[in-house]
Chain A
Amino acid sequence: MHDQPSVSELVQAVKNFVDHSAMPELKGRAAFHARVASNVLATILRDLEAREGNDAAEYERLKALLPGSDGKSRETLNEELRDKIRSGELTVESAALMDHLKKTAIAQLKVDQPKYSGLATALED
């Protein structure tokens, strides 16, 4: 498939339209939703950029954290991790678990809400 313009470029073009053409014309609830829409488009751009690398890094961490992970998907490993947390096999006392969860949360938040205060707190430590 051709990618000129690329998906990112197309999203950027729509964001330009929302920010510079649509939003100034809108009032009240519609203006609010336009601002939300613009933020969503920015999230999409960050997601397109970061997802592949974040998923791969998360997958590597999960494989290191969970024994017998050969051939299992990232989704399956996440479910296994969840089940080990629910059963009490992995707790907050596990430094490896906390390190993984923190890295996962940071990567996700950098895409979703990079200005959120909790991200700065996490990055300080």
Chain B
Amino acid sequence: MSEKQEFDSRLQAVLRRVYGEQIALASANRLSGGASQETWLLTLNGTGAPETLILRRAPEGMEATDDSRAIGLPNEAKLIRKAQHAGVAVPEVVHVLEPDEGVGEGFIMSRVEGETIARRILRDDEYAKARENLPAQCGRALAGIHRIDGSDVPRIRESTGLAQVEQYEQTYQEIGVCRPIFDLAIVWLKENAPKPLEPMLVHGDFRLGNIMVDEQGLAAVLDWELAHYGDPREDIGWMCTNSWRFGQSDKRLGGFGDVEPLLEAYAAAGGAEFTPRDIDWWDMLGSMKWGIMCMGMYETFRSGADASVERAAIGRRVSETEMDLVNLLEGQRHA
């Protein structure tokens, strides 16, 4: 039996444990993912089970992802279930993999139909209604997420705004490049840090690309691996960060809308009341973080760890965030 056949056979055993002996695994196709985290589309035959499911897994020995902030797939599954109870649109987790099942670490979830590719969501006519609905839907979803009690989920760390500035400053200084715009942004962020709010559960990577969108708008919030306890404004500001507007700069919220309807829906759904100005600091933080993340990804090429052209090229995207930071700092000067 080939390695893939062995894998499929173990996977089928897992699915039979969940749905019964009458079902069979028709196919398992890898969709995407890095070396440490994979996403698979599973198709099933037989009654009493969905026709398709999604498997998210880390192969055995690869459970430690390259991102130390990640909470790990089993904890991600726990959080997704909690989010569902909180009324947030998420995929349904149907099974969390056990070590004795031999398919690695991870979970199986329902397949939510829709689109994750930002440029399609922002440009295609079929998402026109979605773009209209998304701001308020995102506001309600965030209000739900920020209410989740994650106290019984391990490995969720606290990371407030100022702590993130210091963490990324340290990464920048360790990389050792001299890019004064980042120094200026870091000084400004430290001097203008807002009064911290009581830390609550935040998604940590809430933006287009990590949400499933259908013609009516938000269908599911995905990619929970960077969840942490922090400031609720972080999730709002990250979606406003210019890098995540995918070219549609004039629409502050994700390139699809204004931030005001998100803030209104957020407050109406029980979240705190914020003004667009309250998000400015987090918007700046987002550009600073993404720029230093790009530097870090280029470092994996420079160090020889990843020889791909994509990792080399991302080093030439740092200047995008430098430009955004200059534009934002100029705006603050005149504010």
Contact = CB atoms under 8 A, between A and B. Distances in A.
Given A92-B330, A101-B326, A119-B323, 19 more contacts: A33-B309, A33-B310, A36-B310, A36-B313, A40-B316, A82-B183, A85-B187, A92-B329, A92-B332, A101-B180, A109-B323, A112-B317, A112-B318, A113-B316, A113-B320, A117-B245, A117-B248, A117-B249, A121-B323
Interface string B182-215: 0110011000000000000000000000000000
Contacts of B317: 112-113
Nearest to B242: A118
The 7 closest A-B pairs by CB, nearest first: A118-B323, A117-B249, A112-B316, A108-B319, A85-B183, A112-B319, A82-B180
A8 interface: no
A32 B186 CA distance: 34
Contact of B312 (A40, A109, A113): A40
B63 interface: no
B320 A112 contact: yes
Given A86-B187, A118-B242, A118-B327, A75 B178 contact: yes
Secondary structure type dominating chain B contacts = helix
A71 interface: no
Given A108-B322, A118-B323, A92 B188 contact: yes
A125 to B, nearest CB: 7
Secondary structure type dominating chain A contacts = helix
A79 B178 contact: yes
Contact of A118 (B249, B312, B329): B249
Interface residues of B, number: 31
B324 interface: yes
A5 B213 CA distance: 50
Given A85-B187, A86-B187, A108-B322, A78 B178 contact: yes
Contacts, number: 99
A49 to B, nearest CB: 15
B269 to A, nearest CB: 30
A92 B184 contact: yes
Contact of B323 (A86, A98, A122): A122
B31 to A, nearest CB: 11
Nearest to B247: A117
Nearest to A117: B249
A69 interface: no
B199 to A, nearest CB: 28
B41 interface: no
B292 to A, nearest CB: 15
A39 interface: yes
Interface in B280-335: 308-310, 312-313, 316-320, 322-324, 326-327, 329-330, 332-333
Interface string A104-125: 1110110111011111111001
Contact of A98 (B178, B242, B326): B326
B317 to A, nearest CB: 6
Contact of A117 (B183, B242, B313): B242
B239 to A, nearest CB: 16
17 contacts: A75-B178, A85-B184, A85-B187, A91-B184, A92-B332, A98-B326, A101-B184, A101-B326, A105-B319, A105-B326, A108-B319, A108-B322, A112-B319, A113-B317, A116-B320, A117-B242, A125-B330
